[in-house]
Amino acid sequence: MTIEDLSLIFVSGLGARGAAHLVEHFGSAEAIYEASLSDLTEGAGLRKDIAEGIIHREGLKQALKEVEHCRKHGISMVAATDPDYPDLLRHIPDRPHVLFVKGNIEALSKPTLSMVGTREMSPSGQYATNKLIEDLASEVDDFTLVSGIAYGIDAACHRAALAHGVSSVAVLANALPEINPTPHRQLAEDILRNGGALISELSSQSRQNGKLFIARNRIIAGLSMGVVVVESQASGGSLSTASLADSYGRLVMAVPGRISDATSFGTNNLIRSGMARMVITARDIIDDMDWESHCRRGGKELLQDVLPSELAPSEMTVMAVLNTDVTLDMSQLLSATGFTIGELMTALMNLELKGLIRTLPGQRYEKI
């Protein structure tokens, strides 16, 4: 990390893609600032006004000011050319050239999974978030969860990670050391205390605007090989994260929900469109991410015992019908339970989320 690396982010009109292009062309930020005007314009195809800004070392004053800010607040900086820069993020075309970090950036050297969702979290969404992370923690040996720190599913992801001993990384849409939303300051401190990190691409001199949240989403998508969308309405930031992940060639997964729930419109559409793979259990994530080699041997089973008192009457009925060694298909279950298709699908989904049954090829079901 050099002062030239930091200066690049303050060059007017350059942007993340422009900085990435120049670094790839010249090899380093120092070489960029040593280049001639013709090297920058004719060789690298840069606009003349941007090239002149680099020639006149535009951004150096702001960079020196930012160094002092980071020293004062214990913020680390890492450039895309540094070995500590997250490798997966390095390979997206619009990577931020500099990351500002509080905490343990080494958390991103572990297997990483991004998980996001709506701010309008439902009880079902909270249950799914907690269950997936709890079961992943019981099976996968040391991974890192990545999310934003927004209200709803994002915050639930971090809290579930903390509860089950998983390090997490929160990607912010504002400059450090501030935490937005403010009520999540304690959550941010807990993330740091648990060996995680807070990350932002924004300097203290950045102007806050709504577009920064969308820009933040590309970092969440780029930091992991896979993104799970737990809940989403028909539009919103979680869907933009999924779309970005798909454009980067990353795996997109989504948790299905009831067709009557507005917070499931987005996830159901992701699955229906073919962009996302359906996720019901932690095992689905492990299989889709090809994480079998990261699973601990002899660990506790993914699927936890659930007391009968924790089951709804419809779920208990399905369990009683499946209380044999024979697998049953949908028509057999409809006949045996007397349920409507909607009632049966809801019960089956909840039982699978609770780890009590599993789906087999041919839409057959069996008790675990």
CATH number of the domain bearing residue 221: 3.40.50.450
- State the pLDDT at residue 325: 66
- Please check whether residue 96 lies inside any domain of the structure: no
- Please check whether residue 148 lies inside any domain of the structure: yes
Same domain, 276 and 328: no
- State the pLDDT at residue 300: 41
- State the pLDDT at residue 281: 92
Upper half-sphere CA count for residue 304 (Cβ side, 13 Å): 17
Structure tokens given for 290: 């090809």
Q: Give the domain range for residue 166.
A: 105-294
CATH number of the domain bearing residue 36: 1.10.150
Query: Which residue in 207, 205, 191, 5 sits closest to 95, CA to CA?
Result: 5
Structure tokens given for 134: 């709890």
Same domain, 113 and 257: yes
- Please check whether residue 82 lies inside any domain of the structure: no
Rounded Cα gap, residues 302 and 317, in angstroms: 23
Same domain, 286 and 323: no
Same domain, 323 and 244: no
- State the pLDDT at residue 299: 41
- Please check whether residue 169 lies inside any domain of the structure: yes
Same domain, 136 and 285: yes
**pTM for the whole structure:** 0.79
Q: What is the pLDDT of residues 257-295, one digit of tens each?
A: 988 899 999 999 999 999 999 999 999 999 999 998 888
Q: DSSP E strands: which ranges in 24-178? A: 76-79, 98-103, 112-116, 144-147, 167-171
Same domain, 213 and 354: no
Same domain, 153 and 243: yes
Same domain, 142 and 277: yes
Rounded Cα gap, residues 80 and 111, in angstroms: 19
Same domain, 230 and 342: no
Residues with Cβ within 8 Å of residue 120, at least 6 apart in sequence: 152, 233, 262, 263
Same domain, 202 and 172: yes
Q: What is the pLDDT of residues 15-50, one digit of tens each?
A: 999 999 999 999 999 999 999 999 999 999 999 999
Q: What residues does 226 pair with on adjacent strands?
A: 251
Same domain, 190 and 152: yes
- Please check whether residue 167 lies inside any domain of the structure: yes
Same domain, 20 and 132: no
- Residue pair 337/316 in contact (Cβ under 8 Å)? The answer is no
Rounded Cα gap, residues 141 and 294, in angstroms: 6
Q: How many domains does the chain have?
A: 3
- Please check whether residue 88 lies inside any domain of the structure: no
- Please check whether residue 92 lies inside any domain of the structure: no
- Residue pair 208/116 in contact (Cβ under 8 Å)? The answer is no
Identify the three-state secondary structure at position 158: helix
Query: Which residue in 103, 106, 101 sits closest to 70, CA to CA?
Result: 101
Residues with Cβ within 8 Å of residue 164, at least 6 apart in sequence: 133, 134, 137, 138
- Please check whether residue 85 lies inside any domain of the structure: no
Residues of the chain with confidence (pLDDT) below 50: 298-305
Instruction: Quote the percentage of the chain above a pLDDT of 70.
Output: 95
Burial class of residue 321 in the structure, from the number of CB atoms within 10 Å of its CB (0-12 exposed, 13-18 middle, 19+ buried): middle
CATH number of the domain bearing residue 326: 1.10.10.10
Decide which of 294, 316, 336 is a domain's last residue. 294
